[in-house]
Structure formats: structure tokens, C-alpha cells
Amino acid sequence: MTASGKLGRIARGLQTFCGDVAQGFFEITHNGFAVVGLAVVFSVLTLLARPDLRQAGESQLMSWLHARQVESLGLVPELDAIDRATALNPKDLPKQQAQVAYWLSRKYRVAPEPLSALVAEAYEIGQRNKIDPTLLLAVMAVESGFNPFAQSPVGAQGLMQVMTGIHSDKYENFGGKLAAFDPVTNLRVGAKVLQECIHRAGSVPAGLKFYVGAALLAEDGGYADKVLAEHARLQQVAQGRPVPILPPAAPLRTIAPIPPATPTVQGDDTPAV
């Protein structure tokens, strides 16, 4: 056999070997994909037939992703935390309410977003209870300076400084007495108490005296005058008039209200808060 014949034979042998290797690799790969495909199909059918397994898998996956996110951020994320925030964009308010929110924000050094939520709530409550919303805001300003966690020496709590112990029944519809520290709840309860005081006293100034717990006293320590002065300023702000911002004074709530010994009736002089 010539040299060229031997080379040709070797070449054909190498070609055959490479072909066999390629064919074997293809078959292995093809069979591997087939196995993976069957596994996927089987898994899908199992999950469809067993929703409990699917839910368990989803729960484990979400737990793993949550743990990874906590590890990455260094804190526990809560995407629904925004739902608990008492805040609104003041730009979304009607012009009159926005003016009031911005003015109060500057005077009491409180962020305009939570104040906007309180202003909007005050206007809604005022319309529903037939109370001037700027009066409600003036009471909040004088009572707590818009601190929702304020507490006086005599036990008045929250934005409107409602005596939680005396008016615990009003908080039952909001889950209990701790709701006194929820800004919106405190505003709603305080507005109801103020409405009752004005109704019993027959006028706003006299009602404010009831509200601060000075109905049985000759003087209320200047409380009603201070609230009415702030009320007048807020009315001017709401009307678009320029009102200078003076530093707020300390709250005047120092009078200890006398709890009613009997159910209150119209005309009774027992203090309400």
C-alpha cells in the first residue's frame, strides 16, 4: 500500500471517529434536554394538581427573596408603610386649604404633608359637624402645637388634648384608648367633644371654656381668647390675606377637668374635657 493510500485510510478513520463522537454528544444532549423537559412538564402538572404545593413553593420563594432583601438593605422593608402615614401632598389640596396648611407648617415648624392631611380632615369634619374647620385647627394649635403625642400634666392627650380617661367610650369605636395617639382619630373625637361643649354652653367662647375644663371656674386662664385669636388669623389665611407669623406660645392646658358624676345633659355645667 502506498503512502498516499495509508494517509487516506487514516483520514477516513479520523472522520469516522469524529462523526461518532459528534453523534454521541448530540444524542446525550438531546436526551438530557428531553429529561429536563419531562421534569418541567411533570413539575407543572404536579403544581396544577396540587395548589397547596404551589402555594408552599411560592411562600418559600418569597421568604427567601425577603431575607435576601433584608440582608442587602440592612433593614426590614414594608411596602405598605405608606398606607399608615398621615400625610398628603399640599399641592393636591384646594387652594384655600393649601394656604392654611403652608401657613401652619411655617408657624409651628411641622412638615406640610402631615399638616395637609389634618387640614383636609378638619375641613371634612367641620362640614359634617357644622363647625368652622379653622376653629378645629386653632384648638389643635393651642392645645398641642400639632404634636400628636402630646400629653398634659392632667392627662389630656393627642392633638386635641382630649381627656382620654373621661372620653374612653368615644374611642371604643376606634379600637380603644390607644387610638388617642392616632392623629385623625384624636381629631375626630376632639371635634365631637368640642361640638358637645358648644351645644351645651350655647356659644363658641363659652364652649371653649367647657372644653378646657373651666366651666366651674371664673376664668379659663385666657384659653378661649387665645384659641379665638388663632382662629381669626386662620380665617384670614384661608381668605388669602397676608398674616404675619408670630412664634407660638406654650399650650395653656393646665386646668384639671372634673369628670361628670352623672350623665351630662344640656345645660349642665360639668366640664366636658
Q: What is the pLDDT of residues 175-195, one digit of tens each?
A: 999 999 999 999 999 999 999
Written as one letter, the residue type at 81 is: A
Contacts of 226 (CB under 8 A, 6+ apart): 142, 249, 252
Average pLDDT, the chain: 80
Residue range 90-238 in CATH 1.10.530.10: yes
User: Which of 114, 159, 113 is closest to 139 using CA atoms?
Assistant: 159
Q: What digits encode the pLDDT tens for the residues 90-111?
A: 999 999 999 999 999 999 999 9
Side-chain half-sphere of 152: how many Cα atoms within 13 Å? 27
Cα distance from N-terminal residue to C-terminal residue, the chain: 121
Flag whether pLDDT at 270 surpasses 80.
no
Written as one letter, the residue type at 229 is: A
Pinpoint the alpha helices (H) of 3-147: 3-49, 51-73, 95-108, 112-129, 133-144
Q: What band does 137 get if pLDDT is binned at 50, 70 and 90?
A: very high
Yes or no: say if 122 and 137 are a contact pair by the CB < 8 Å rule: yes
Flag whether pLDDT at 269 surpasses 50.
no
* Grid coordinates belonging to 221: 386662664
Q: What digits encode the pLDDT tens for the residues 42-60?
A: 555 565 666 666 666 667 7
Yes or no: say if 183 and 157 are a contact pair by the CB < 8 Å rule: no
Pairing of strands 156-157, 162-163: antiparallel
Rounded distance between C-alpha atoms, residue 161 and residue 155, angstroms = 8
Yes or no: say if 119 and 137 are a contact pair by the CB < 8 Å rule: yes
Of 24-33, 89-98, 233-242, the least confident: 24-33
Rounded distance between C-alpha atoms, residue 212 and residue 228, angstroms = 13
Yes or no: say if 140 and 118 are a contact pair by the CB < 8 Å rule: yes
User: Which of 254, 250, 240 is closest to 103 using CA atoms?
Assistant: 240
pTM exceeds 0.85 for this model:
no
pLDDT number for residue 258: 38
Percent of the chain exceeding pLDDT 70 equals 64
Domain ranges of the chain: 3-73, 90-238
